[in-house]
Amino acid sequence: MQRIRCEHNDADPTGPCLTCKKVANTRAGRFPCLRLKITDVKCYKPGQVPGYEWSKRWIDTVPGPIQKWASTETKIIKISEGFSDETLEVVVKEFIPIEGDKLERSWYHNGEKKTVSIPPFALVELETVKAAYLRHIHRSMNQAFAKILGRRGLIYRTYQQSVKLCKKQQIPNESQELLRDVFRLWMAVRLSTTSNFIVGEETLGMPKDILDETNPHPGTIPIPPVLGAQLDLILIHHIQSALRRQVLDRLEKMVSKRKHSAWMVSYLVTFVLLHNAALITAHDAGYARKHGMKRRFAREDKVREYHAGANILLAHFHYCNKNVHPFTDGCKDQDLRTLAGLEEDQIRFVHATRNYAKRHRQEWEAIRARGEVENDYYFVSQLYDENWDARTTT
């Protein structure tokens, strides 16, 4: 964070470097001696849970075309995740399964494993689906915000403020692009961490009651597993990876320049990324429960990486705030105008956030004490700590 080299401490090889010891009595000295970059932050799952893959054709890699088809007939299906009125239209064909292709959907109910057979259909044109997904992300985003976040509370209001700022003509292009990309990344991750279903008349021969009342989503038409694996990998390798790189590169450059005028943008982007960390953690916990795993998270090693990334974001945010705490009563409006370059509506937003944080401080402290890392507020609430310190989670 100091953008200077580590000077090795021969007297204490496992302790802080000499560079950090020099600032031990300053504000910077409150932070651990770590050389972690914002670009190290993990924002999405890397692929299927080992042992629960929908297909072993492509293990955590870019999906290739299906080689052997069972039919030349193509079908057009509509896919929805339920976040908006928008649907994703894709062209599919029946294929000849190979070893490692999953041909059923499974879930656990009252400790008993349930399964149902699913017909083998897969995507025909992968590049076409990538383009369709990008359009779908753009069109469904606004409705998805309200559906996922609700229309009340600090999180929804902060996303609203982010959208409002993104639409503002006066902000620099790099700030506008960063906000747009973090929204796209957030939406793309939501699409790969929720159940998708077939809607409309074409159901690939599956009856409406294929998923009974014991399933978490009764009465819906599931996506064939291999097709689901293709959709997942397109989102991860073709869309999320590029957006993650763009967002984190831009955020790191913005933070390293330490421009006061960029404070609000960097705060909002950090907020969205921290909230995303809680959401992907909750997804991992939900997946473990759904499949009857004897552990808290489906990908325990990856969850640790998500949380390490959250601590990186929090460390950079608090370090760059120096001795100014915008969300405390000690920070005056004049400081917000001169030090953070905020306009009057943004100052009112800071006031509202400050008051919300004060009212919910005890509740948030209890959430953290209980280790409820899946809670929406577990990470974002730490933005308002006056004396923040990194927490171990899993």
Which of 154, 191, 185 shows the shortest CA–CA distance to 327?
154
- pLDDT score recorded for residue 89: 97
At residue 144, does pLDDT exceed 90? yes
Task: Count CB neighbours of 5 within 10 A.
Answer: 9
- pLDDT score recorded for residue 31: 52
Amino acid residing at 92: V
Most confident of 23-37, 256-270, 375-389: 375-389
At residue 10, does pLDDT exceed 80? no
- pLDDT score recorded for residue 284: 97
β-partners of residue 73 are: none
Separation of alpha carbons 17 and 10, rounded Å: 9
CB 226 within 8 A of CB 102: yes
- pLDDT score recorded for residue 137: 97
The mean per-residue pLDDT over the stretch 242-246 comes to 98
DSSP assignment of 93-130? EEE---TT---EEEEEETTEEEEEE---EEES-HHHHH
Percent of the chain with pLDDT over 90: 75
**Residue ranges of E strands in the chain:** 69-80, 88-95, 104-109, 112-117, 121-123, 197-199, 221-222
The mean per-residue pLDDT over the stretch 306-319 comes to 95
- pLDDT score recorded for residue 18: 65
Comparison of pLDDT for 2 and 183, the residue scoring more: 183
- pLDDT score recorded for residue 231: 95
Percent of the chain with pLDDT over 70: 91
Which of 160, 142, 189 shows the shortest CA–CA distance to 309?
189
3-state secondary structure of 209: coil
- pLDDT score recorded for residue 151: 81
The mean per-residue pLDDT over the stretch 28-45 comes to 76
**Which two structure tokens, joined as six digits, stand for 257?**
């320049």
Pick the range with the lowest mean pLDDT from 54-63, 178-187, 267-276, 339-348. 54-63
- pLDDT score recorded for residue 106: 92
Which of 298, 328, 326 shows the shortest CA–CA distance to 394?
298
Q: How far is CA 302 from CA 47, 211, 282, 372, 376, in A?
A: 11, 30, 13, 17, 18
- pLDDT score recorded for residue 34: 58
Separation of alpha carbons 240 and 185, rounded Å: 6
At residue 27, does pLDDT exceed 90? no
At residue 110, does pLDDT exceed 80? yes
Average pLDDT, the chain: 90
CB 175 within 8 A of CB 262: yes
Pick the range with the lowest mean pLDDT from 230-239, 263-272, 304-313, 385-394. 385-394
The mean per-residue pLDDT over the stretch 13-25 comes to 60
Which residues 6+ apart lie within 8 Å of 369 measured at CB? none
CB 88 within 8 A of CB 80: yes
At residue 8, does pLDDT exceed 70? no
At residue 223, does pLDDT exceed 60? yes
CB 198 within 8 A of CB 92: no
- pLDDT score recorded for residue 36: 76
Which residues 6+ apart lie within 8 Å of 321 measured at CB? none
Question: Residue 279 CA to chain centroid, in angstroms?
Answer: 6
Separation of alpha carbons 272 and 264, rounded Å: 12
Pick the range with the lowest mean pLDDT from 22-31, 131-140, 183-192, 231-240. 22-31
pLDDT band at residue 33 under the 50/70/90 scheme: low
pLDDT band at residue 314 under the 50/70/90 scheme: very high
Domain ranges of the chain: 1-35, 38-384
The mean per-residue pLDDT over the stretch 371-384 comes to 97
DSSP assignment of 122-184? EES-HHHHHHHHHHHHHHHHHHHHHHHH-SSHHHHHHHHHHHHHHT-TTS-HHHHHHHHHHHH
The mean per-residue pLDDT over the stretch 315-321 comes to 90
